[in-house]
Structure 1
Amino acid sequence: MPLNILIVGAGAIGAFYASRLALVAGTSVSVICRSNYKAVKANGFQVTSPQYGDYTFTPANTFANPEEARQSQIQWDYIVVSTKALPDVSDDSAILEGLVSDKTAIVLIQNGLGVEDPYAKRFPQAAICSAVTIATCAQPEHGQIKHNRWTRINSGPYLPHLDTGGTSDTDSRVIEKNNTFIALLKEGGIKDAEAYTHAKLQLVRWHKIAINASMNPTSVFILCSPNNLMSQDPEVQRHLKGVMTEILETAPKILGQPMPKDFASPDQIIRSTLKNTSGSKPSMAIDWEAGKRMEIEVILGNPLRIARERGYEMPRLQSLYAMVRMAQEIRDQNKGKLVAIIEISPHLGQQEHQLQQRWLQSQELPIQQYPIVQMRDGSFRPQMMSAPLHPTQNEIAQLQQQRQERQQQQLIHNIAPRQMQQQQRQWQQQRQQQQPPNIGAPGELQQYPMSHSPNNLLYHEYRHQQQQQQQQQSNRHQINQQVGELMSQIHRSPPSSTGRETPLTILHTSTPTVQSTSNQGSPISPPGTTTQGSLNSAINISGQVNELRSRLYATAVSRIPISDRLLRAYYRHDNHPYGRLENSIPDPIPPLHNEAQLRQLADHLALTKQEAERDEKERVQEAIRAAEAARAAEVARAAQAAHDAQVARAVEAARVAQAATIERERIKRRIEELRKDSSSNYRHLLEKNELIPLKESETPDKYLMMLLANREMPLDKDSELALAIMFAKDYWEDYAEWPRDVERYAGYERARRAERMAGNLA
């Protein structure tokens, strides 16, 4: 029968180790998934690893929840739990109800201290193994597992009665289950998996707690900064070392045994963190950014409680625990009473003000959430907790329209800036040299002072358009009344008994002189019978009619748009689109005797303005077309440059590949030379260093690593060191200390370069 293994929490770590266990003959690995269930059910796990390559892992069974696993009626030999430990939220041991039998071993791959207690209390007859790993894995997408670095995992039996000197009949069974699990991992390719005793594994957990308890909450407090960035600051570095030292000094007192010397010290941990430039963040920082619950209790709370039970205090750790726990509680409490605002502003204070104004106006709850706080005056306002804000659809449309208008204006003004500046200078000089003629109504130019900008002229027209229309109607009505009164006076004048001219005929003369023409066309002098009062009355009426005629002309001229008259006064040249208006009106304007002529003049000026506006639009369209053509040419040049760069990169890549091939062949020849000369050198090394003799069949390959460990091999280049590492991996698996020997021999950076090169050569 196959060995049935169930992975509970098939995230990045769980899926990675499950994929290695599935390679062992006679094993059947199943998984319980949550958010990635659909992707895994359809396509399995796609694993990428720098050490194992790219491959696909398809579980024997993929369950959506524990209930489906219970319904399968499978007897599980191992249940591997790799979920996040959140005892303050739920008891994860309850999900294993109905899955654990007498022969089942529970393997806990979780962070923190005290994670084993809930399982030991719920399943007292089960074998519980506690595991700690330093493997770095991620799941960027559902079903996509990316193994970044390291594979080491340490597992040991959980036997808490040994801490008090007790024994149990089931200890041997738990130890056997733990050793079998480590053997399965090694057979699956995890060569640095190691079985520890209960006491040593608890030391490993405390050592990892020192790292997690210092890095995780500190990152949350300083805006979720990466590990490397925190370690670079001197004060933060001192704080991290202080927390680590406090935990590593307290742990031996609790466990009753010292920390192993091969465990990294706080200084070594900081130095190693400084070398990690991947930008990775602690798990608490990632959970805080995602708004999820953090592993506060198992990483911070449980170590504090365990230490207090034995009479020890850790003040640095207690401060971190109290502050991060309170921060999480406040964040969770504010999730229930939140409102939203959608404003775009580069300043957070301005956004908060706009948020409060919208809340006062509508008190609605749109999209993004913000807490409501009570102000000093007793009122309630929404308070912003983060930025940026999200705009509404209408605001997005308005911003896009404004952006398009700005781009179009910028496009027009960038066509020929030098020509436009030169033309503007010419216009300004001509305006300074010329004085505008007074062609409007008396005092009109003084009442509406002109600006040098055509936009201001059009603004004046829009501003006074309604006032002009009302004034025109009033003037027309007043003139009609006065003309009617004058005509009444004329008709009331006494008729001439001699047939001579009356005041009615005098109205049509251009001078106040009273004339008459006989049938023969000869002038006739007025007889003495014409009274002087009638003549004075006729002259008075004629002057009033001429004055009304002048006012009628002024009224008709005022009907012409004010922008035409002002432009005529200021833009007296042919280059300006409205320059032709100068020649549209004769100067001086002849007297017009009827409204039809005035209307004809106004229509002529309006038509001239329409033609000028049409020419201006055509000029703008031509400028836009020229700009688009220039932009298309620029895009074509950029595309050609990108193509040339791509060709150059391809040529360079081919050259590098050829050089790599030549170097690889040279390395192979070098290692063959070393292997051919291995026998004599090996005997010399035995005589010199008194090494333990190896089997003759193993001498050529193991000799290379022996030379490396004793610093006798003349490895001058990283490529030769990489080849030695490759042979060490293939032929010296039982020597567990060879990676450290490589670091001591060549240094950390050179060893890492050689290790990557060895992976490429393999």
Structure 2
Amino acid sequence: MPSKYKVLLVGSGALGVVAAYTLEYNGFAEVTVVVRSGYKKASTEGYKIDSIQFGKIESWKPSRVVPNVEEAIANGEVYDYIFTSVKNLPDSPTPCEQILEPVLKANTKATVILCQNGLDIEKPFLEKFPGHVILSCVSLIGCTNIDCVVNQMTPDNVQIGVFENPTIKDKEEAERKLDEFISIYKMENGKNVVKKDVNPRLTRWQKLVYNAAINTSTALTDLDCSRAAMAGCKESIWRPIMREIYAIAKSDGYILPPDLEENMLRISDGLFYTPSMLVDVRLNRMVEVEVIVGNPLRIAQRNGVDAPHLSMTYHLLKMVQFRIMEKQKIITVDDSVREFKNPDAQDNVL
């Protein structure tokens, strides 16, 4: 065991900051954090953290803060783990695998940890970076990061497993890397929950029960969870979408626990919690519409599962995404052109 593992963490949202703090708090890792937005403040003032898990920290900085992955490897740095909690946006100009390409090409033995929402997120990595061990990390945590102020309302609860990976010949090595990371992330005092995930795809379907219904609808309505529930959405919107996820998962070979639906319907009761997608919309940032809604819908289409509520949610979020991308000048619209051509015609089949 090395004196300290070298971890590169890409994605300095609330979840990423909590993960970086946990790794350094445990004392087994030296963390370099890539901060693409808010780099100046993070690198000079650090993060103010108010955490149910760690208490109040007025100013904290990881071992190293860099503005991009290129800077993280500028001096030939070698990392044991690449932990990414950056938003997974395959419809953006720089999808996640493109962001990580420089560091993964320079660190051919690094293990990749995808701590992100959604389904089928590993597939671009399997294709682009064969031979890397790729771990799935599914987090259930209530936390926000706004302008380097992190509020953690619920304890960190993660499940970490090995994505099925035909490009890896040594399956035992993949399991060893999994056990190793769990050992450096799990806190001895039990303040976080870290479980070994023997079926990552099932776990991701389970989290989609929440994300596809609650994360999406709060973003569309600009209401936090409790206010959305007060408005009557549990039975009219959340439950129907959840049941569609159950049906699509079953068509994919995964039976979800019967009590999960009720648990997810109640999980945010009384918290007035703002889910990640709503935070992104309020901050005019792109949302994870494709990995949370688009990919399950494509599975539904292939397997002949009817999902009208999820389909409507998807197309409404695509409109929100269009608005955000136009505001960010990722796309431009020439108002003088009267003839309309659909640039995304393949989505019309959903």
2:301 aligned partner: 308
Q: How far does the alpha carbon of each residue in 1:550-605 deviate from its partner, in whole angstroms, 9 at most, with x for none?
A: xxxxxxxxxxxxxxxxxxxxxxxxxxxxxxxxxxxxxxxxxxxxxxxxxxxxxxxx
1:35 aligned partner: 37
1:258 aligned partner: 255
CA distance in 2, matches of 1:335, 1:169: 43
**Cα pair distance change 1:191/1:98, threshold 3 Å:** same
1:62 aligns with 2:65: yes
Residues 231 and 237 of structure 1 are in contact (CA less than 8 Å); yes or no, is this contact kept in structure 2?
no
Instruction: State how 1:322-361 maps to structure 2 within 5 Å.
Output: 322-329=315-322, 332-333=325-326
Query: How many residue pairs are counted as aligned between the two chains?
Result: 326
Residues 80 and 107 of structure 1 are in contact (CA less than 8 Å); yes or no, is this contact kept in structure 2?
yes
CA distance in 1, matches of 2:220, 2:145: 25
TM-score, normalised via structure 1 length: 0.40
Q: 1:131 aligns with which of 134, 137, 143?
A: 137
CA distance in 1, matches of 2:242, 2:115: 22
1:238 aligns with 2:240: no
2:185 aligned partner: 185
2:103 aligned partner: 99
CA distance in 2, matches of 1:44, 1:187: 23
CA distance in 2, matches of 1:35, 1:335: 14
**Cα pair distance change 1:259/1:54, threshold 3 Å:** same
Residues 84 and 295 of structure 1 are in contact (CA less than 8 Å); yes or no, is this contact kept in structure 2?
yes
Q: How far does the alpha carbon of each residue in 1:159-179 deviate from its partner, in whole angstroms, 9 at most, with x for none?
A: 155xxxxx9522221122112
Residues 132 and 153 of structure 1 are in contact (CA less than 8 Å); yes or no, is this contact kept in structure 2?
yes
Q: Which has the larger radius of gyration?
A: 1
Q: 1:79 aligns with which of 71, 77, 82?
A: 82
1:122 aligns with 2:161: no
2:170 aligned partner: 170
Task: Tell me the amino acid that sits aligned with residue 205 of structure 2.
Answer: W
CA distance in 1, matches of 2:108, 2:75: 18
Q: How far does the alpha carbon of each residue in 1:203-222 deviate from its partner, in whole angstroms, 9 at most, with x for none?
A: 12111112111123323443
1:667 aligned partner: none
Cα RMSD, aligned residues only: 2.6
**3-state secondary structure, aligned to 1:75:** coil
Deviation of 1:9 after TM superposition, in Å, equals 1.3
CA distance in 2, matches of 1:40, 1:305: 39
1:45 aligns with 2:47: yes
Residues 12 and 33 of structure 2 are in contact (CA less than 8 Å); yes or no, is this contact kept in structure 1?
yes
Deviation of 1:104 after TM superposition, in Å, equals 0.7
CA distance in 2, matches of 1:212, 1:168: 30
1:145 aligned partner: 150
**3-state secondary structure, aligned to 1:149:** coil
1:108 aligns with 2:109: no
CA distance in 1, matches of 2:220, 2:42: 36
Q: 2:273 aligns with which of 272, 275, 280?
A: 280
**Cα pair distance change 1:62/1:183, threshold 3 Å:** same
Residues 46 and 145 of structure 1 are in contact (CA less than 8 Å); yes or no, is this contact kept in structure 2?
yes
Deviation of 1:33 after TM superposition, in Å, equals 1.0
Higher strand share: 2
Residues 47 and 146 of structure 1 are in contact (CA less than 8 Å); yes or no, is this contact kept in structure 2?
yes
Deviation of 1:331 after TM superposition, in Å, equals 6.1
1:217 aligned partner: 216
**Cα pair distance change 1:188/1:159, threshold 3 Å:** same
**Cα pair distance change 1:290/1:45, threshold 3 Å:** closer
**Cα pair distance change 1:83/1:188, threshold 3 Å:** farther
Task: Tell me the amino acid that sits aligned with residue 193 of structure 1.
Answer: V
Instruction: State how 1:167-566 maps to structure 2 within 5 Å.
Output: 169-187=169-187, 190-197=191-198, 200-222=199-221, 224-234=222-232, 237-254=235-252, 256-260=253-257, 264-273=259-268, 275-276=269-270, 278-329=271-322, 332-333=325-326
TM-score, normalised via structure 2 length: 0.84
% identical equivalent positions:
27
Deviation of 1:124 after TM superposition, in Å, equals 0.7
Task: Tell me the amino acid that sits aligned with residue 268 of structure 1.
Answer: N
Instruction: State how 1:581-730 maps to structure 2 within 5 Å.
Output: none
Task: Tell me the amino acid that sits aligned with residue 78 of structure 1.
Answer: Y
1:668 aligned partner: none
Deviation of 1:303 after TM superposition, in Å, equals 0.9
Q: How far does the alpha carbon of each residue in 1:588-643 deviate from its partner, in whole angstroms, 9 at most, with x for none?
A: xxxxxxxxxxxxxxxxxxxxxxxxxxxxxxxxxxxxxxxxxxxxxxxxxxxxxxxx
CA distance in 1, matches of 2:168, 2:53: 41
Deviation of 1:79 after TM superposition, in Å, equals 0.6
Q: How far does the alpha carbon of each residue in 1:702-721 deviate from its partner, in whole angstroms, 9 at most, with x for none?
A: xxxxxxxxxxxxxxxxxxxx
CA distance in 2, matches of 1:18, 1:150: 15
CA distance in 1, matches of 2:233, 2:84: 38
In structure 2, stretches of 5+ residues that fail to align are: 338-350
Deviation of 1:182 after TM superposition, in Å, equals 1.3
**3-state secondary structure, aligned to 1:30:** strand
In structure 1, stretches of 5+ residues that fail to align are: 162-166, 337-370, 375-762
**3-state secondary structure, aligned to 2:25:** coil
**3-state secondary structure, aligned to 2:299:** helix
